[in-house]
Chain A
Amino acid sequence: MTDAPTGERAGWGPVSRVDHVVESQNRRTAWRPLAGAALLERIRETGRPRPATDPAFTADLRALLESGLAELSADAVSADNGRLAVSKDRLTRALSCPVHRTVDRFGERAITLPLACGALVDVLFRQIVTIGTIGDPMTEALDGLTMDGHQAPLLTWIAELAPAELAELRAEVDRQAEGLAERWPVLDASWLPRTQEPLRAVLACGRVELSARVDLALGRRGEDEASVAIVDVKSGVRRPGHRDDLRFYALVEALCSPAPPFAVATYYSRTGELDVETVTPELLLEASRRCLAGTRALAGATPESDDGVWCTPCATLPRRAVRSAIATDEAPGAGDLAVIDLLHGQAA
């Protein structure tokens, strides 16, 4: 279920251009972002009954993963203190075909304006959920970032921005903060809203650990039926791979809770789009197969990642766009990856 403006997506360029594109889309389609109770209702009411807890199915999911990981050698998974840590980003990189791994630069964390904007908006989203207000967005987001020692390089980078770039960043952060404040209602405390919730699922006798940190989780972990919803916040443009991220969150939550979440959603703070996906057994099975393939690739057990079967951009983007990015010295055909429409149901 998607709540989104139609039309071509724009990249995060100069603020004025982004504003223009979004506004022109809105004018053309009369689309307005959901806000307040309607936004929450879209997350809570998926159009399907919330699934009952099914321990046997969860056991099957775990067995699928365990059986596929059983043959991994201890050496293969001993990279990080004796365990292989699997996150959404590492999975995506491991499963990207060589071309998209290069084009999209997954895993490289060079600081850019969009990345800085994302970190600042994450802080502001957390603030909105926790205290319900934002004063001066840039000041408070930077203030919040100082609480995380790992963000020191980012803070330094922002402090050294040229005035024009800083103004651009500030304008975008202000704009997105305004949207958050306007659209996100106060969350009822009885729904147990919590931010930046860490999740871990342990596999292969502790040698593999699936880990995630979700921006917002709502609902008490259920006994009889699924009652948790997970929301991921993105400050940039919409990408097909974001649904893979959501499904990975759903899988990890399913493995470490009595019940899976009933819904996972991406909230795009730049536009106010809300992309909600109902969690079904099929979704979890698909997520576990993808996770298994990626984990095996990370452990060096299989070269599956090289055939592009699980590469989301290959499955969803036009072939020509991919080929245009291939280095000119590559052999003809090396990046000639066939487009398989909606492969694995991955199209957003």
Chain B
Amino acid sequence: MNARSRAATAGLLAPPTFELDHPTVVRVRVQLESGIADAIVGLAPGEAIEVGLPLLRRARYQPELLGLADEPFAWKPAFVRRSLGLEVVRACAQRRFRGPADAVGPVADQAIEEWRRTGWRTVHWEPWLAELGQGARSVVLAEAVAWATPVWAAFDWPALLATAELGGPDNRWTGPKGGTVHLKGRVEARVRPDRGRSSLVSVASGRPGDGWRDELAYLALVAALGAEDLPVVSRVVGLWPECGYRLVVEIDEAALTGAVDRVVDTVAAMTDVRNSAPAAEVA
């Protein structure tokens, strides 16, 4: 553990920079609901839009891809590396292993063994990984190690173990109007100091785009809307390991409003795409 990761850890646990009260969250929610109502004008009845960080980024940086249909789901290493990588970081934080390379095999084996014993798929990929040959399996494990290693090195996880939740369910919020718009916020860790407001950690591939502040704030927005009775997140830390970036957004009303604008823009763009899709199909 070096000084850099210790400082990053202290940053996660620091008191909030800004005070945020419940009326602020209500104000932001009303603004979001109003913006969404305008953005979905013309959307066919029964159509739903699910917004997450990938869609926010695609709408801003690669809008030409918005209309493309998603590929049919099939397991591949890229879909496993995050959840297996998080289990690896957790096992290392518990000091069961000296590093991700030691942990990945036993952690994967344990997940598969647990599934075989109970039939319960904790991380969903157990049956797929269990069926792979040794060559393919080693690629999956290697991808998980490559994902987990910079995350493991970024913070003093053993010191955070008592206050950090690694992975966990996505934060969700469903808007009005019969649930036309759903927001989903996936974070890699929630760090909740005693009696304090949480910090979130988000890990992304590639490099941050110019809208990175709004993207990190979006995660705080969904967390706030999904649990209005809980204190608002104090900050969101974004890691882009490929380019060595660790960027932080301290959450205030302006940050949440910026995220609201991004969501509304994204929903409007998706509505346009959906509305134009039938014409394209006919053509």
Binding site for B on A (CB under 8 A): 81, 123, 126-127, 129-131, 135, 139-149, 187-202, 206, 209, 220-224, 256-258
Interface membership of B97, Cβ < 8 A: yes
Cross-chain contact B101 with A192 (CB below 8 angstroms): yes
The CA of A224 and the CA of B142, in the complex, are separated in Å by: 28
The CA of A186 and the CA of B213, in the complex, are separated in Å by: 41
- If over half of A's interface residues share one DSSP class (helix, strand or loop), that class is named, otherwise mixed; here it is mixed
The CA of A139 and the CA of B132, in the complex, are separated in Å by: 12
How many cross-chain pairs have Cβ atoms below 8 Å apart between A and B?
Answer: 118
Cross-chain contact A189 with B135 (CB below 8 angstroms): no
Q: Chain B nearest CB: distance from A338 CB in Å? A: 39
**Residue among B61, B101, B103, B132 with max Cβ neighbours from chain A (10 Å):** B101
Q: Chain A nearest CB: distance from B17 CB in Å? A: 25
Q: Chain A nearest CB: distance from B238 CB in Å? A: 15
**Residue among B97, B100, B205, B242 with max Cβ neighbours from chain A (10 Å):** B242
The 8 Å CB contact of A147, one of B134, B139, B149, B206, is: B139
Query: Which residues of the other chain, B, contact A139 by a CB distance below 8 angstroms?
Result: 133, 135
- Contacts A/B (CB < 8 Å), 11 sampled: A127-B138, A139-B133, A144-B136, A149-B76, A187-B101, A189-B102, A194-B149, A206-B209, A209-B207, A220-B153, A222-B2
Known: A189-B98, A189-B99, A189-B102. A200 touches B142 (CB 8 A): no
Interface membership of B210, Cβ < 8 A: yes
Cross-chain contact B243 with A200 (CB below 8 angstroms): yes
Interface membership of B77, Cβ < 8 A: yes
Cross-chain contact A144 with B139 (CB below 8 angstroms): yes
Cross-chain contact A257 with B244 (CB below 8 angstroms): yes
Interface membership of B22, Cβ < 8 A: no
Query: Which residues of the other chain, B, contact A127 by a CB distance below 8 angstroms?
Result: 134-135, 138-139, 142
Query: Which residues of the other chain, B, contact A135 by a CB distance below 8 angstroms?
Result: 134
Q: Chain A nearest CB: distance from B46 CB in Å? A: 33
Cross-chain contact A192 with B149 (CB below 8 angstroms): yes
Cross-chain contact A193 with B243 (CB below 8 angstroms): no
Cross-chain contact A147 with B243 (CB below 8 angstroms): no
Interface membership of B3, Cβ < 8 A: yes
Interface membership of B104, Cβ < 8 A: yes
The 8 Å CB contact of A200, one of B103, B133, B242, is: B242
Cross-chain contact B244 with A130 (CB below 8 angstroms): no
Q: Chain A nearest CB: distance from B225 CB in Å? A: 31
**Residue among A130, A135, A206 with max Cβ neighbours from chain B (10 Å):** A130
B101: nearest chain-A partner, CB-CB = A189
Q: Chain B nearest CB: distance from A292 CB in Å? A: 19
Cross-chain contact A140 with B244 (CB below 8 angstroms): no
The CA of A191 and the CA of B102, in the complex, are separated in Å by: 11
Interface membership of B145, Cβ < 8 A: yes
Cross-chain contact A256 with B243 (CB below 8 angstroms): yes
B4: nearest chain-A partner, CB-CB = A223
